[in-house]
Amino acid sequence: MNIPHRIALFFSGRWLPVCLILAVAGFLRIPVERDMETEFKDQGFRDWSPGLSSRDQLTQAAFVGALGGFRSLVASVYHLKAHNAFVKKNWGEVERLRTVTASLQPKFWSYWDLAVWDMAWNAFGYYRGEAERHGDDFEGWRIENIVMPTYLQKGIDFAKRGLEWLPDDYRLLKVIADIYDQKMGNPEKSAEWYLKASRKPDAPSYVYRAYAHQLTFCQGMEEEAYRVNKDLYRNSGEITLTLLRDLERLEEDIVRRAASNMSYEELRAAALAEGAGYLEMASLGTYLLEVSKDLPAAIDIYGKVAVHPGAPSFYRRKLAFVMLKDPKQTGRAYQMLKALALRDPASLRREDIKEIARLESRLGIPKAERLKP
């Protein structure tokens, strides 16, 4: 085989070592570039390409820029355009531009969150004002029953699309729960989404508490609601006012149902049994107070409930107000309420402070010794 003279010189001259070095370097780069490509994919730098909707809504220059690696810059431009559309209350344009912005940078949580906020809060609030302005006419009905729910659903849809890119971000799950809670008044759905959000690694504790609170409004979920809230009260270390009120309401329901469905003998046996809990005692106390009208016996039982080591503080409030039904116990009940106001104000309600003030006037308590509001 005859090799041309120039090629023979090439392979026999100084270029041969250069070619060998380049070839070896190329082979050595393969595993390094493979690892870099894997890392880029893991971090989301290789998992995006403009979809048909993005292509339709981007200008030609912006589309070329997005393909050319300027996605962040193009997204920022469209974010500013979306804000300008928001200022003009052009909600269709806001939706279109938020779609483009989030599609260009789908790993940025804030772009999805802004889209949800513009649809489910800003647009919804705007159209609520329009519905009120139109009053009871057909346009007002159409806005309230068709347009406003549509924008809530648009907000939910934005959050769900964001979750396709950020499945472990509790914030997008939580914002869906917020819409069901604050805008739709759907405790079943909001509890479902708060629970999903609470299970994510970075979810703060208040997300689970929001789940517990919503459970208390779910029909047929009373037992689960009580289990979750009781566990939070005992083990969370964060006894909030909402938790106290929810637990009080749930236990009040348990006690009233027991007092209605059980006989005095059954209630007494349960309350006096060895190791009886405070709920069994409270059930008997409620029966004595509301059914048999035995006030002294009810006060005695509620006194035992109030000092039970497992009983929440609101039972001391309950005891004080039961005692107020007996004129002879007014002074003692006032002292108990005043002590609660000073040591455990969370166990009292706003109207309780007014009741304490009335008691001070009735009992002639000197102004210097009265509870300061």
Query: What length does the chain have?
Result: 373
Kindly tell me if the per-residue pLDDT of 261 is higher than 50: yes
Mean local confidence (pLDDT), 142-147: 94
Over residues 280-308, mean pLDDT: 95
pLDDT (0 to 100) of residue 45: 46
| Residue 63 confidence (pLDDT) | 45
Q: What is the pLDDT of residue 41?
A: 53
What confidence score (pLDDT) does residue 153 get? 97
What pTM did the predictor assign?
A: 0.78
pLDDT at 56 over 60: no
Whole-number mean pLDDT of the chain?
Answer: 86
Q: What is the largest CA-CA distance in the chain?
A: 126
The answer on pLDDT for 19 being more than 80 is no
Q: What is the pLDDT of residue 17?
A: 64
pLDDT at 13 over 60: no
Looking at the chain, the whole-number percentage of residues with pLDDT higher than 90 is 66
**220-239 pLDDT tens trace:** 999 999 999 999 999 988 88
Cβ atoms of 288 and 301 within 8 Å: the answer is yes
pLDDT of residue 58: 47
Number of H helices, E strands in the chain: 21, 0
- Is residue 65's pLDDT more than 70? no
> Percent of the chain scored above 70 by pLDDT?
81
Per-residue model confidence (pLDDT) at position 62: 45
What are the tokens at 262? 């059980």
Inter-CA distances, 36 with 29, 46, 255, 274, Å: 10, 11, 64, 68
Mean pLDDT, residues 102-108 taken together: 91
Region of poorest pLDDT, from 1-10, 137-146, 324-333, 363-372 = 1-10
Distance CA 97, CA 93 (A): 6
Q: Is the pLDDT of residue 71 over 70?
A: yes
Among 53-57, 247-251, 295-299, name the one with the lowest average pLDDT.
53-57
What integer pLDDT is reported at residue 18 of this predicted model?
57
